[in-house]
Structure 1
Amino acid sequence: MQKLNFPSYTFRFKNSENKVSIFDAIRKKFIILTPEEWVRQHVIHFLLDEKKYPISLINVEKVLMVNGLRKRYDVVVFNPNGTILILIECKAPEVKIAQATFDQIARYNMTLEAEFLMVTNGLNHYFCLMDFENEKYEFLKELPDYVLTKKNMENKI
């Protein structure tokens, strides 16, 4: 698989019926390795290893309803109170991040109301902080570490 713009991580692989699978620590099972899954697994390790989010607060590939249609988000990170802190959209490395990608995550976020958004194809990463009151978002250099978001949540209680 292609080298991505993330630190190097150790992954578990399995070969079965001429298909390579990668172990997903969140779903606790092997998943067929596609270019998009390769990006998703790097994002998961990035959240766990670099940003120090607890594994219990991360969820992967669940169905949500958007305008009556069944859609599937890639990764979400929950706050300890159950609200969604971060919504992440992963694309394969060959997929260029364009306005359509931001439109897609914005549609999902109308339902989920995440505080932060991340869009990545493994090579380019974009981070946003939502401002629901003024119906806009602000681009950030990076996502906050878990320790910072935890302190912010404690201050809101």
Structure 2
Amino acid sequence: MQDLNFPKFEYRLKSTENKVSIFDVIRKKFIILQPEEWVRQHCVHFLINEKKFSKSLINVEKELTINGLKKRYDIVVFNPDGSIHLMVECKSYNITIDQSTFDQIARYNLQLDATYLMVTNGINHYYCEMDMQAERYVFLKDIPDYTTV
């Protein structure tokens, strides 16, 4: 797999029936290793190891319904009170992040109401803070560590 613009972490791989899987510490199971999953796992470990978010506050690949359509978000980090602190949209490292990616996470956020948004393809990362009053997002250089929340 491609080297990504995330810190290295110790991952577990296994091969079954000619398919390679990576262990997901949040879902506590092996997931077939696709390029987007490679990015998602790097991002999860970045949030845990670098940003100090508790594993117990992180949710991965859960379904939500938007305009009657079933969708799946990549990563959500909750606040201890159950509100959503951060939503992350992961794309494969070979996908260019463009306006449609931001439109996608914005649509999801109308349902979830996260304070912060992150969009990544593993190479480029974009961070935003939501300004719900003005109905816009403000780009940030980084997202705050959990300890500063």
- TM-score class, shorter-chain normalisation, is over 0.9
Shift of 1:58: 0.1
Q: Give the Cα–Cα distance (whole angstroms) in 1 for the partners of residues 143 and 13 of structure 2.
A: 28
Aligned ranges 1:72-87 → 2 under 5 Å: 72-87=72-87
Unaligned residue ranges in structure 1 (runs of 5+): 150-157
Shift of 1:46: 0.2
1:44-100, CA deviations, whole angstroms, 9 ceiling, x for partnerless residues? 000000000000000000000111110000000000000100000000000000000
Shift of 1:23: 0.1
Q: Give the Cα–Cα distance (whole angstroms) in 2 for the partners of residues 46 and 111 of structure 1.
A: 25
Q: Give the Cα–Cα distance (whole angstroms) in 2 for the partners of residues 98 and 3 of structure 1.
A: 21
Shift of 1:31: 0.2
1:136 aligned partner? 136
Q: Supply the AA of the counterpart residue of 1:45.
A: H
Find out whether 1:95 has 2:70 as its counterpart: no
Once the two structures are overlaid, the 10-residue window that deviates more, 36-45 or 133-142, is: 133-142
Shift of 1:3: 0.1
Q: What percent of counterpart residues are identical?
A: 64
User: Counterpart of 1:6 in 2: which secondary structure?
Assistant: coil
Q: Supply the AA of the counterpart residue of 2:56.
A: S
Unaligned residue ranges in structure 2 (runs of 5+): none
Q: Give the Cα–Cα distance (whole angstroms) in 2 for the partners of residues 143 and 38 of structure 1.
A: 21
Shift of 1:134: 1.0
More strand by share: 2
Q: Give the Cα–Cα distance (whole angstroms) in 2 for the partners of residues 15 and 71 of structure 1.
A: 28
TM-score under structure 1 length normalisation: 0.94
Q: Give the Cα–Cα distance (whole angstroms) in 2 for the partners of residues 67 and 90 of structure 1.
A: 22
1:153 aligned partner? none
TM-score under structure 2 length normalisation: 0.99
RMSD: 0.4
User: Counterpart of 2:138 in 1: which secondary structure?
Assistant: strand
1:15-65, CA deviations, whole angstroms, 9 ceiling, x for partnerless residues? 100000000000000000000000000000000000000000000000001
Q: Supply the AA of the counterpart residue of 1:105.
A: I
Q: Give the Cα–Cα distance (whole angstroms) in 2 for the partners of residues 75 and 37 of structure 1.
A: 11
